[in-house]
C-alpha cells in the first residue's frame, strides 16, 4: 500500500513538472503584458499572459488636436422665462474640441427682466441686453466615444445692461403712510464666474443633448446709488447660487471618426 501511494505521488510530481515546462508563445503588445505562474510552477518559471497581451491600453490622447467643433442652443433661458421667472430669452454656445479632452468654450445670449419679486416692495425692469461667457470644459471620457461625454466646466461671464426699480413703496407701517416712487434708469457692468459639471449624449447622427449644473457667484457690479440689480443677464437672480443649462448640440467633426458609431455599423 505504501509503495502504491509513493508511486502515485511520484507520478503526480513528474506530471506537474512537465506541465510547468510547457512552451507558451508570447504575444506582442505595445504595453508590457503581465506574467502568470502556470500550474503551480516555481516563481522563476513565469510566462506571458496571452489574454492580457491581446488587450493593449491606450496611453495619452487617441484623438487629434483639432478634433471637432460643437455649436449649441441653450433652451433653458426661454423655458425659465416662460414657466419660472420673468427673465431670460435665449443663449448660443460654441466649443472647440482639442483631443476630445479640452474644450475652450464661448457663450453668448440675450436676456431681459420684468418681475415683481415675492415679498419685495418694488418691481424690477431691465430691457434686452447681451451677455458673454468664456471658459473651458474638461472631458473625463476623452479616450472614449465622443458621442458621450462627462465634463467639468469653468466660465467667466459679463454683461453691460440698464435697469431700474419702479413702484417702490417707501411707506412706513409704523406711521401707516405710503409713498410710491420710481427710481431712474441705471447702467451696470456685472461680472461673475461659474463652476459646474455636465453630460452630453448622442440623439441622432451628429445631434446631441446636453445639460449642466453650475454654481455661480457675482464678482463685481458697477456701484449705483439705488442698489445692485435684482437680475443679471446670463446669470439670473443676483442673489442665487445655482444655474442650469439645457442644450441641443450639433457637432462638426474635423477628421474621420476613430470610434465608429452604432449607426455606421448598422449601415454595413
What grid cell was written down for 108?
453668448
Gap between the Cα atoms of 252 and 250, Å rounded: 7
- pLDDT by residue (tens digit) across 79-128? 888 876 778 889 999 999 999 999 999 999 999 999 888 888 899 999 99
Question: Is the dihedral angle over the CA atoms 101, 106, 112, 115 positive or is it negative?
Answer: positive
Check: CB of residue 228 under 8 Å from CB of residue 238.
yes
Task: Classify 66-253 by CATH class.
Answer: mainly beta
Gap between the Cα atoms of 151 and 131, Å rounded: 23
Gap between the Cα atoms of 214 and 112, Å rounded: 21
Question: Which has more pLDDT, 186 or 225?
Answer: 186
What grid cell was written down for 127?
430691457
Average pLDDT of span 42-51 = 50
User: According to the model, what pLDDT value does residue 3 have?
Assistant: 46
Question: Is the dihedral angle over the CA atoms 118, 129, 161, 171 positive or is it negative?
Answer: negative
Residue ranges of domains in the chain: 2-53, 66-253
The three-state secondary structure class of 158 is strand
pTM, to two decimals:
0.73
Question: Which has more pLDDT, 202 or 177?
Answer: 202
Check: CB of residue 164 under 8 Å from CB of residue 149.
no
Amino acid at each position: 500500500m505504501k509503495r502504491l501511494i509513493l508511486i502515485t505521488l511520484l507520478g503526480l510530481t513528474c506530471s506537474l513538472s512537465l506541465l510547468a515546462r510547457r512552451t507558451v508563445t508570447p504575444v506582442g503588445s505595445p504595453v508590457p503584458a503581465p506574467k502568470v505562474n502556470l500550474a503551480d510552477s516555481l516563481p522563476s518559471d513565469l510566462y506571458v499572459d496571452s489574454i492580457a497581451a491581446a488587450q493593449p491600453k491606450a496611453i495619452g490622447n487617441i484623438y487629434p488636436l483639432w478634433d471637432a467643433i460643437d455649436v449649441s442652443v441653450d433652451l433653458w433661458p426661454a423655458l425659465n422665462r416662460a414657466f419660472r421667472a420673468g427673465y431670460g430669452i435665449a443663449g448660443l454656445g460654441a466649443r472647440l474640441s482639442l483631443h476630445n479632452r479640452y474644450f475652450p468654450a464661448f457663450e453668448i445670449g440675450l436676456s431681459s427682466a420684468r418681475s415683481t419679486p415675492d415679498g419685495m416692495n418694488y418691481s424690477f425692469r431691465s430691457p434686452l441686453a447681451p451677455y458673454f461667457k468664456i471658459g473651458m470644459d474638461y472631458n473625463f471620457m476623452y479616450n472614449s466615444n465622443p458621442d458621450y461625454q462627462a465634463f467639468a466646466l469653468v466660465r467667466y461671464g459679463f454683461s453691460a445692461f440698464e435697469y431700474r426699480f419702479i413702484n417702490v413703496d417707501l411707506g412706513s407701517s409704523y406711521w401707516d403712510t405710503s409713498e410710491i416712487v420710481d427710481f431712474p434708469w441705471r447702467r451696470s457692468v456685472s461680472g461673475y464666474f461659474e463652476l459646474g459639471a455636465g453630460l452630453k449624449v448622442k440623439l441622432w447622427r451628429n445631434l446631441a443633448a446636453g445639460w449642466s449644473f453650475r454654481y455661480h457667484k457675482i464678482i463685481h457690479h458697477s456701484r449705483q446709488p439705488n442698489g445692485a440689480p435684482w437680475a443679471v443677464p446670463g446669470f439670473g437672480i443676483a442673489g442665487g447660487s445655482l444655474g442650469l443649462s439645457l442644450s441641443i448640440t450639433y457637432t462638426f467633426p474635423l477628421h474621420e471618426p476613430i470610434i465608429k458609431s452604432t449607426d455606421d455599423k448598422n449601415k454595413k
